[in-house]
Structure 1
Amino acid sequence: MSMNTCYPALLGFREVSGQRSSFGGQVRSGVLYRSGTPQFLDYATALRLLRDTSITATVDLRLQHEVEQEGRGPLDELGVGHLTHAIQVGALVSANSAVAPMTGDDPVVATYLRYLDEGPEAVAGAIADIVQLGGAPVLVHCTVGKDRTGVIIAMALAAVGVDHDEIATEYGLLANQVEESMQRLRGMKSYGDAVDLYPPETFAVEPGSIIRFLDAVDHRHGGTREFLLSHGFTHQMLEELEESLLDRTVI
């Protein structure tokens, strides 16, 4: 589902649902949503979003100073819970910036793996919040809604048995909005012209990137579930994640 035409300021917004699980069933509708930053929403549009989706909380993956500089639009005023897990993006170009150079032969995947290496607790904590919400509708977001958000959504889906190819299909949705989101960064305090440091790969969505990332997680950590178990999850929490995200009535 894509509701972006209804919420034009909320780029990358969509419901994550319908992906088949090897554990049985599929990802249920009305629980997990993803997007870019909500800071550009006006009050009326944000209110309509909440009425349409019943979102009760956001899992905000931005850096602390990024949140402070950019805000979250009218969501505080509307009483939406704010759960924060600052994904570590690497060495920043300045203290007030959220830009870190992305290097290497496969810079997008290298950056995604850095999230796990430099801030594993934030990655696991973001997914743990989905568990703690117990199936209540939640919006996971960063700024563009592709990289940090893409990693958390991909790992949550992999942890409940969704195939990598299906995850890649979801990751690649609304690709046409990524460049618009990236260009919007130029007018934001936390980014500005430093976005020119990003490689061309960052301005597009290549589904193979998330497959290569998940394959690397399998190789390095033994899988997404094993990564989570190594960083604060219990087996019961994994079961609760399945209960929250999977509709097993679908055959």
Structure 2
Amino acid sequence: MNARSRWIDLDGAVNVRDLGGLPTADGGTTRRGRVLRSDNLQDLTVSDVRILIDHYALKDVIDLRSDAEVNLEGPGPLTRTPSVTVHNLSLFAEGGRHTDVAADTDVVDIDKVLPWQTRPDNSPAQDRPISHYLGYLDDRPDSIVAALRVMTRPAGSALVHCAAGKDRTGVVCAFALEVAGVTREAIVADYAQTGERIDAILARLRASTTYAEDLDSRPADSHNPHAFIMEKFLARVDEKFGGSLGWLTAHGWTAEDTAALRARLLD
């Protein structure tokens, strides 16, 4: 990891960083080497895998992609690493009304692989990411709660990722950081930090037939993780659910879970 930042430089992924070093409201900081966030891990090199295992003691991977994405992209190198457990926790309602690809089919229609493409959305363009983020909460509360519980495991580090490491990963990481007591300003800044690598992220995704057409069909600015998106999303969560912890509690999260996550993430 770059000593002056939280970025982790790998050859096969471009949006990898440590959630350590972030300030909390009580004056503390989050621990480094406990939870990492990333874009797709399909292209990790042998050297990348060694860095994650040797330097970060990687034990758990939280894969937020849909079943269709995983099937089309194929198994990544960490799925063949015995010491690492991969948890497939899609944020879409697999086989449901918001997913065009049935979870139990063997034939995947590449034109219908991205579930967000057909979710009805009449909101203004600048608010559509927020609508999608709220959709994750509606569709897969089980996956979000499970993802945060993986982060509480006592051994090694956990890495959470999706395709770009921006939207789905951004929501799950924001919830984890809110539970840990990280300041709202720092949570929003972490989300927006992906913008520093957005060109490299999009170049990676455009090299995959799974994502290329969808990316090129949308305005360029729609891919940027603007700070106001996360600010407005978290404000909506505050208004509707009493905050991230209120939403989590309503979906089975316990005081013991909170204590375990804080013990892992805080100095």
For the criterion TM > 0.5, the same-fold answer is yes
Map of 2:104 onto structure 1: none
**Aligned pair partner of 2:17 in 6, 14, 17:** 14
**Aligned pair partner of 1:229 in 226, 237, 249:** 249
Pairs aligned (count):
245
Note if 1:157 corresponds to 2:199: no
Conserved in 2, the CA contact under 8 Å of 1:37 and 1:142? yes
Aligned partners of 2:244, 2:90: CA distance in 1, in Å? 19
Note if 1:98 corresponds to 2:80: no
**Aligned pair partner of 1:35 in 19, 34, 38:** 38
Gap regions ≥5 residues in structure 2: 102-108
CA 1:25–1:3: 2 relative to 1, 3 Å:
closer
1:155 maps to amino acid:
F
Secondary structure of 1:173's counterpart equals: helix
Aligned partners of 2:225, 2:171: CA distance in 1, in Å? 13
1:33 maps to amino acid:
L
- 1:106-121 aligned at under 5 Å gives the runs 106-121=127-142
Secondary structure of 2:36's counterpart equals: strand
Conserved in 2, the CA contact under 8 Å of 1:61 and 1:142? yes
Note if 1:64 corresponds to 2:67: yes
Secondary structure of 2:159's counterpart equals: strand
Map of 2:105 onto structure 1: none
Note if 1:84 corresponds to 2:88: yes
Conserved in 1, the CA contact under 8 Å of 2:92 and 2:99? no
CA 1:72–1:26: 2 relative to 1, 3 Å:
farther
C-alpha deviations, 1:198-246, integer Å up to 9, x for none?
Answer: 4444321211211111111111111111111111211111111111111
Higher deviation after alignment, 160-169 or 148-157: 160-169
Aligned partners of 2:249, 2:73: CA distance in 1, in Å? 33
Secondary structure of 1:188's counterpart equals: coil
Aligned partners of 2:181, 2:100: CA distance in 1, in Å? 38
TM-score by length of 1: 0.88
- 1:90-239 aligned at under 5 Å gives the runs 91-92=98-99, 95-96=109-110, 97-101=113-117, 103=121, 104-105=123-124, 106-131=127-152, 133-134=153-154, 136-239=156-259
1:86 maps to amino acid:
S
C-alpha deviations, 1:112-157, integer Å up to 9, x for none?
Answer: 11111122211222112112x1263111111100000000000100
Conserved in 1, the CA contact under 8 Å of 2:166 and 2:194? no
CA 1:45–1:197: 2 relative to 1, 3 Å:
same
